[in-house]
Structure 1
Amino acid sequence: MRVMVMVKATSQSETGKMPSTELLAAMGKFNEELVKAGVMLAGEGLHPSAKGKRVRFSGSQRTVIDGPFTETKELVAGFWLWQVKSMEEAVEWVRRCPNPMESESEIEIRPLFEADDFGAELTPELRAQEERLRAQTEGGANKPR
């Protein structure tokens, strides 16, 4: 099972305050444990929402909204993608994680949809397209611009 593990933003992370050397070292050690265990697929920190944008969809209309965004507790400051056996395993890994912020913080874990979750709506043609695109992205076909 794949899960997205989201580090929630705080008022400090939203100001752009960078983590201490000690916290960076602790998180680096934790990430090494995840990689050695074959759990970590990806992981990154995100800039504050002031540097971001949102696009709101309403029918055929698109509206671009500049950050910062107001509900700090609902924002994501960083994420991991993990491959785990169960949600319980993901929770156990998060319990071992250093506190990602210098203040109180929260980490959310959500399972990713897998092809089989979509049932009959994912036709054989759509499934083949999904598999082809996944193979291309995993093979490095999408290099940074």
Structure 2
Amino acid sequence: MPRFMSLIRIDEQAAAGFEPDPDFEKRMGALFEEITKAGVMLETSGLTPTAQGTRVTWSNGKIGYTDGPFTETKEVVGGYAILQCKDKAEALEWTRRFLSSHPASWTVESEVRQIEEMPQPQP
């Protein structure tokens, strides 16, 4: 079955002020339990703030490093999930359910892309 990566994009400055409603953690916990029991969720996690990150760039034959925060970027990857689904439609449905679990006042976006499987070397 194909694997998909869901990159969760957030506005880091706005997210700092978000207050989840009391049932948010309960809804998210129930969804994570369901998606894990279905064998779809392979891995998921949030990411630390960009202030703790470093961007590494290769340009004109040189490596460059830029420490966060990345204030010039409005939206950043705030988390990810790796899903194993029968097809993209199923991956999109699980992602829809994940996003719909968030409070209506939040803005959260997900980019869903299939993971390109590399052929395994033969011994």
What TM-score, normalized by structure 2, do the two folds share?
A: 0.81
- How many residues were matched structurally? 118
**Higher fraction of helix:** 1
Task: Give the corresponding residue for 2:9.
Answer: 8
Q: 1:108 aligns with which of 93, 108, 111?
A: 111
Per-residue CA distance 1:21-43 (angstroms, 9 max, x = gap)? 63233222111111000000000
**Higher fraction of strand:** 2
Contact 2:21 2:103 in 1 (8 A): no
Contact 1:19 1:102 in 2 (8 A): no
Larger Rg: 1
What TM-score, normalized by structure 1, do the two folds share?
A: 0.70
Task: Give the corresponding residue for 1:37.
Answer: 38
Highest RCO, 1 vs 2 (Cα 8 Å, sep ≥ 6): 2
Per-residue CA distance 1:73-128 (angstroms, 9 max, x = gap)? 2x111111000010000111122221278512211111111125xxxxxxxxxx42
Identity %: 35
Per-residue CA distance 1:58-84 (angstroms, 9 max, x = gap)? 2542111011112222x1111110000
Gaps of 5+ in 2: none
Cα 1:33–1:100 shift into 2, 3 Å: farther
Query: Match of 2:36, as an amino acid?
Result: V
- Measure, in 2, the Cα distance between the counterparts of 1:87 and 1:37: 16
**RMSD, aligned α-carbons:** 2.6
- Measure, in 1, the Cα distance between the counterparts of 2:117 and 2:44: 19
Bigger mean CA offset, 28-37 vs 96-105: 96-105
Task: Give the corresponding residue for 1:52.
Answer: 53
Cα 1:16–1:47 shift into 2, 3 Å: farther
Gaps of 5+ in 1: 117-126, 133-145
Bigger mean CA offset, 22-31 vs 50-59: 22-31
Give every structure 1 segment of 4 or more consecutive aligned residues whose post-TM-superposition deviation is greater than 3 Å.
15-22
